[in-house]
């Protein structure tokens, strides 16, 4: 993703890097990005930066931290984009992406193989092509979801329901429009679903070697998951629910329930990824492999078992995580 190919996720990541470098090179702008609240900064950017941000949001504003209708998109919450830029200015790399996978530098072995070199090149080229297409299709989905969200919010304003309408089914919306569903009942239904939406849920269970993945805990200090991106990393564990508000520093190990494409710009900061959900082919695993970031997924209740700020070591090959100190 960072070394080859041409897809929308890569272009977004490159924009964040370039903007981070530009802001960091301007002493006055860098000071503001280090000290001011993102909400205030988003309302009072210098004209040139505001123009850049507006152009970015017009192209990529359909992205967000989570692909669900209930979450605001970047174009609706530009302070989230500003907050990511602030993290990059404060702590992050602002130069060109690395040209070599960091896990290779960490000593990941190269394997001999009997597959013809030309065949491998062809497979690699096709894999890169389809990875690009996958990212473009995901972006088209983001654009469609933004249009749907806007239409639903328009109905919500019409019926004086606000964003509660996002928690109704299409059948319930039709009944509401026809006068067959009262406003009181509508608010009750939406309120119950909103509560469920924000309530933590148990991730899907993956079975490894005949056992559920959440049974693969060795003891309180060593956890086992599924290694999806090779390499080892040691760093401060940061529990992240929203990357735009998390205090992420260079080399931190992110611990989260899951990630979304909207998280990609911040991943260039981290030393490793730990997820409660996911597998070899989910977005965070693919991006981690392309960026050379060790990743372990499928650690049940990782956000609860790993103390915030503790020093951890992860091995993306074996899927092992060690809590070294709290």
The domain segmentation of the chain, as residue ranges, is 8-97, 118-198, 207-325
Euclidean distance between CA atoms 270 and 19, whole angstroms: 18
Euclidean distance between CA atoms 39 and 37, whole angstroms: 6
pLDDT, position 259: 83
Largest CA distance in the chain: 69
pLDDT per residue as tens, the chain (326 positions): 444 557 888 889 889 989 998 999 999 999 999 999 999 999 999 999 999 999 999 999 999 988 889 999 999 999 999 998 998 888 765 444 443 344 444 444 454 556 687 887 887 788 778 878 888 898 999 999 999 999 999 999 999 999 999 999 999 999 999 999 998 999 999 999 999 888 766 655 555 556 555 545 545 688 888 899 999 999 999 999 887 777 788 889 999 988 887 788 888 788 999 998 878 877 788 888 878 899 999 888 888 889 999 999 999 988 999 998 76
Residue pair 288/229 in contact by the 8 Å Cβ criterion: yes
pLDDT, position 103: 42
Q: Which residues contact 113 (CB under 8 A, 6 or more apart)?
A: 120
Provide the phi-psi class of 292: left if phi over 0, else alpha when psi is between -120 and 50, else beta.
left
Annotation: CATH topology of 207-325: Glucose Oxidase; domain 1 (3.50.30)
Residue pair 136/142 in contact by the 8 Å Cβ criterion: no
State the DSSP H helix or E strand holding residue 30, giving kind and residue range, or none if neither.
Answer: helix 27-35
Residue 283 Cα to chain centre, angstroms:
8
Number of CB atoms found within 10 A of residue 238's CB: 21
pLDDT, position 205: 56
Q: Is the whole model's pTM more than 0.85, yes or no?
A: no
Output the CA–CA distances (angstroms, integers) from residue 202 to 53, 195, 274, 275, 283, in the order listed: 37, 15, 16, 13, 20
pLDDT, position 265: 82
Residue pair 11/56 in contact by the 8 Å Cβ criterion: no
pLDDT, position 126: 83
pLDDT, position 95: 42
pLDDT, position 108: 47
What is the DSSP secondary-structure string of 70-139? Answer: TSPPTTT-HHHHHHHHHHHHHHS--SPPPSS-HHHHTTPPP----S-HHHHHHHHHHHHHHHHHHHHHHH
Number of CB atoms found within 10 A of residue 179's CB: 7
């Amino acid at each position: 993703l960072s070394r080859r190919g041409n897809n929308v996720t890569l272009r977004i990541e490159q924009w964040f890097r370039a903007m981070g470098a530009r802001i960091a090179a301007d002493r006055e702008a860098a000071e503001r990005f280090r000290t001011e609240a993102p909400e205030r900064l988003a309302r009072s950017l210098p004209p040139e930066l505001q123009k850049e941000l507006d152009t970015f949001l017009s192209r990529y504003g359909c992205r967000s931290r989570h692909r669900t209708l209930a979450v605001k998109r970047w174009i609706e919450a530009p302070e989230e984009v500003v907050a990511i830029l602030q993290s990059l200015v404060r702590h992050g790399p602002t130069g060109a992406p690395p040209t070599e996978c960091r896990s290779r530098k960490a000593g990941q072995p190269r394997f001999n193989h009997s597959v013809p070199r030309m065949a491998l090149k062809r497979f690699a080229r096709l894999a890169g092509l389809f990875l690009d297409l996958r990212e473009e299709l995901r972006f088209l989905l983001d654009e469609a979801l933004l249009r749907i969200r806007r239409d639903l919010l328009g109905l919500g304003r019409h019926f004086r329901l606000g964003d509660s309408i996002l928690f109704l089914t299409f059948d319930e919306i039709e009944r509401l429009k026809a006068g067959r569903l009262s406003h009181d009942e509508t608010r009750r239904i939406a309120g119950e679903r909103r509560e469920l939406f924000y309530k933590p849920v148990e991730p899907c269970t993956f079975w490894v070697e005949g056992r559920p993945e959440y049974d693969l805990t060795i003891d309180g200090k060593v956890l086992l998951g599924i290694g999806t991106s090779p390499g080892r990393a040691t760093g401060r564990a940061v529990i992240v629910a929203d990357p735009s508000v998390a205090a992420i520093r260079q080399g931190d190990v992110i611990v989260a329930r899951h990630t979304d494409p909207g998280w990609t710009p911040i991943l260039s900061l981290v030393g490793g990824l730990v997820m409660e959900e996911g597998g070899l082919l989910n977005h965070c695993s693919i991006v981690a492999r392309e960026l050379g970031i060790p990743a372990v997924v499928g650690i049940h209740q990782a956000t609860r078992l790993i103390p915030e700020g503790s020093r951890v070591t992860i091995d993306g090959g074996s899927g092992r995580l060690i809590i070294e100190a709290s």
